[in-house]
Structure 1
Amino acid sequence: MASRFHYKSMRSHKWVANASFKPVTLRFIPQGWRRLHSVQRLGRRSLRYLLPLLFLMSLLTVLLGNSFTPATAQLPRQEIRGVWMTNNDFNTLRDRAKVQNATNQLRQLNFNTIYPVVWNSGYVMYPSAVAKRTGIQPFVLRGSDGHDILADITAQAHRQGLLVIPWFEFGFMAPPMSELMLNHPDWFTQKRDGSQTSLSAAGEVAWLNPFHPEVQKFITDLVLEIVTQYDVDGIQFDDHMSLPHEFGYDKYTVALYTQETKNNPPANPQDPAWVRWRADKITAFMVQLNQAVKAKKPGAIFSVSPNYYDFAYKFHLQDWLNWLRLNIVDELIVQVYRPNLQNFIAKISRPEIQEAQQKIPTGIGIMAGLRNNPVPIQQIKSQVRATQKRGLGVAFFYYESLWNYAPEPVTERQSAFQALFPASALRARI
């Protein structure tokens, strides 16, 4: 997700309700029933021997029948009820009173997690020594009365029992004229034709080279700064902790690929081996990043909010299913921003989501609305009900659009969310 005071692109981003199960035939049962029909011809002495056998058969049948439950039903876990707070929420984030009102309201509506933005458009949203020594000026350093925005929202949310998981929104992405690119041009990758930018939901952007050791150190230092200097509950990376498949033809990456494979990178950016090599490099970095976070804060939640898997891997080299299987993901929220309910259900019923919900808290990212494209509450309700039916949690993009940029009155929207989450589901802090 990306929000530089811009509008989120609708495009960028198991339990199957109608599943059918074939009846299982237990071949010994018909024979057992034939024996049962002959009981009347037996005396009490024979019946005494048959009853234990019949009881055993009945017990076995019950046990076998109970075993045919959907393998994808989510194990009992803390349900995600979250909301992203973006740059579009700046007027709330910078004001202590508005933050207090927001956290109070979210708690009353039985939300349990806030994802405040901390890295956006090449800038940090908190006082950062790492950014300063890298030559980046803070984009939003202080709140309206000079306070630390991240520290304030963390403290106020915790008082309401809400988790705070800062959101590393831009990942490897940065504007082409950002201080980061001007100061460190060698940190950025390029396409085969030499161009360095692509179009995204945030407009034209350049991409940090995820294979470059200095880039990896910069990202790691920022993340560790957040999890060690603030009382946060984890860190979240979304669909931009990745690289569009057209990139990776910079000098550093070409030399590395040639050294390791004895071949030049294929001209086709979607060559399967070339895709796999780059995806594996990103995975290796994510493993190292997870280890670094856990070493500093073992209980920190390493959260990932990607696009659905086929898109994420093929087009953005983001093999998050492998991350899941490597046990480096503590929480998964898959972005499914689709207005059509059937398309929405098809995406949230995918097998990789079913696999995830057997291991970790798993949710679905739902579009709550945009400034220029408000979402009706009926669409939100139907999508939330679909996720709940499948044992999945939810996170909404984004806070202001929950009820401020909406076609319905604020009270109607808030009443609808109250009905969706009638009972509290607080998540335990570790």
Structure 2
Amino acid sequence: PQVQRFIEDLIIEVVIKYDVDGIQFDDNFGMPIELGYDWYTRKIYKQEHEGKLPPNNPADPEWMQWRADKITAFMKTLHDQIKAVKPDCLISLAPNPREFAYNESLQDWETWVKQGLIEELILQVYRDSPKAFLSELDDPAIRELRGKIPVGIGILSGTMGHPVEIEQIQQQVQDVRDHNFQGMSFFYWETLWSYFTPDAPRERRRVFEILFSPSPS
């Protein structure tokens, strides 16, 4: 509970003290599936399960759902507190794809959207395989959620240990546009154009300028 209070206080302080347009949570706003065996969580579980301890298997479906529901409840608390002090503050989320987010981090963000807790979704589709990338864009659940809130796509521009060629970025930008998503973002800044990249920084900058130049009228 102390950690949750710290997060609540930190977010509300930012919303009150600074003229922010919104708050964005990401794929780390969850709990690794292996966690939840601390004394406090076990105590609550026992209270709600007639004294039974949590299953030893962290992937037990009921145990997973119970913990995911607790995270959802915390997300609702944050949503309500943010809206109480600044109703027009946008609440955004940049999660991993749906199944991975739930199975690895107990982050049931599809439910968050359906409950109105999230107002913008930037889905992290950090995939090298064209087939895997398109598969996430075509997820039926994503198509449904796009009717509720704006949905954009996060594209991997590379990391220091995982360089990404500019041709892959170009193709993924086009795929996102072809699917009519509301926008895109890139992870991360240093690999847009720098000496960490497999292509010359000048060439990468030139390609990005072309990709995002206004179309001639």
**Residue 49 of structure 1: aligned partner:** none
Equivalent in 196, 199, 210 of residue 408 of structure 1: 199
Instruction: Give the Cα separation in 1 of the matches to 2:90 and 2:186.
Output: 19
What is the Cα deviation at residue 373 of structure 1?
3.0
Equivalent in 8, 11, 24 of residue 236 of structure 1: 24
**Residue 210 of structure 2: aligned partner:** 419
Instruction: Give the Cα separation in 2 of the matches to 1:259 and 1:245.
Output: 21
> Secondary structure of the equivalent of 2:152?
strand
Instruction: Give the Cα separation in 2 of the matches to 1:397 and 1:366.
Output: 6
| Aligned residue identity for 2:97 | Y
| Aligned residue identity for 1:422 | S
**Residue 397 of structure 1: aligned partner:** 187
Matched, 1:341 2:130: yes
Instruction: Give the Cα separation in 2 of the matches to 1:228 and 1:423.
Output: 36
Alignment of 1:318-397 (within 5 A): 318-392=107-181, 393-397=183-187
Instruction: Give the Cα separation in 2 of the matches to 1:301 and 1:373.
Output: 32
Matched, 1:249 2:37: yes
> What per-residue deviation string (whole Å, max 9, x for no partner) do you get for residues 5-33 of structure 1?
xxxxxxxxxxxxxxxxxxxxxxxxxxxxx
As a proportion of its length, which structure holds more helix?
2
Q: Which moved more, 1:213-222 or 1:322-331?
A: 213-222
Instruction: Give the Cα separation in 2 of the matches to 1:357 and 1:346.
Output: 16
Instruction: Give the Cα separation in 2 of the matches to 1:398 and 1:287.
Output: 29
What is the Cα deviation at residue 306 of structure 1?
0.8
What is the Cα deviation at residue 267 of structure 1?
1.5
> Secondary structure of the equivalent of 1:332?
strand
Instruction: Give the Cα separation in 2 of the matches to 1:342 and 1:271.
Output: 30
Matched, 1:292 2:70: no
> What per-residue deviation string (whole Å, max 9, x for no partner) do you get for residues 22-45 of structure 1?
xxxxxxxxxxxxxxxxxxxxxxxx
**RMSD of equivalent CA atoms:** 1.4
Identify the structure with bigger relative contact order (alpha carbons < 8 Å, sequence gap 6+): 1
> Secondary structure of the equivalent of 1:364?
strand
Which ranges of 4 or more aligned residues in structure 1 deviate by more than 4 Å? Answer: none
Alignment of 1:85-124 (within 5 A): none
> What per-residue deviation string (whole Å, max 9, x for no partner) do you get for residues 188-211 of structure 1?
xxxxxxxxxxxxxxxxxxxxxxxx
Matched, 1:214 2:2: yes
Q: Percent identity?
A: 48
What is the Cα deviation at residue 409 of structure 1?
2.7
| Aligned residue identity for 1:340 | S
Number of paired residues? 212
| Aligned residue identity for 1:379 | Q
Instruction: Give the Cα separation in 1 of the matches to 2:161 and 2:3.
Output: 35
> What per-residue deviation string (whole Å, max 9, x for no partner) do you get for residues 337-386 of structure 1?
11111111111211222122212121111111222432111000001111
| TM, length-normalised to structure 2 | 0.93
Q: Which moved more, 1:346-355 or 1:304-313?
A: 346-355
What is the Cα deviation at residue 412 of structure 1?
2.1
Instruction: Give the Cα separation in 1 of the matches to 2:5 and 2:118.
Output: 20
**Residue 260 of structure 1: aligned partner:** 48
| Aligned residue identity for 1:255 | K
| TM, length-normalised to structure 1 | 0.48
Bigger CA radius of gyration: 1
> Secondary structure of the equivalent of 1:268?
coil
Instruction: Give the Cα separation in 2 of the matches to 1:373 and 1:267.
Output: 35
Which runs of no fewer than 5 residues in structure 1 stay unpaired? 1-212, 425-430
Which runs of no fewer than 5 residues in structure 2 stay unpaired? none
Instruction: Give the Cα separation in 1 of the matches to 2:199 and 2:33.
Output: 40
Instruction: Give the Cα separation in 2 of the matches to 1:361 and 1:228.
Output: 25
CA contact (8 A) 1:330 1:361 kept: yes
| Aligned residue identity for 1:247 | L
| Aligned residue identity for 1:285 | F
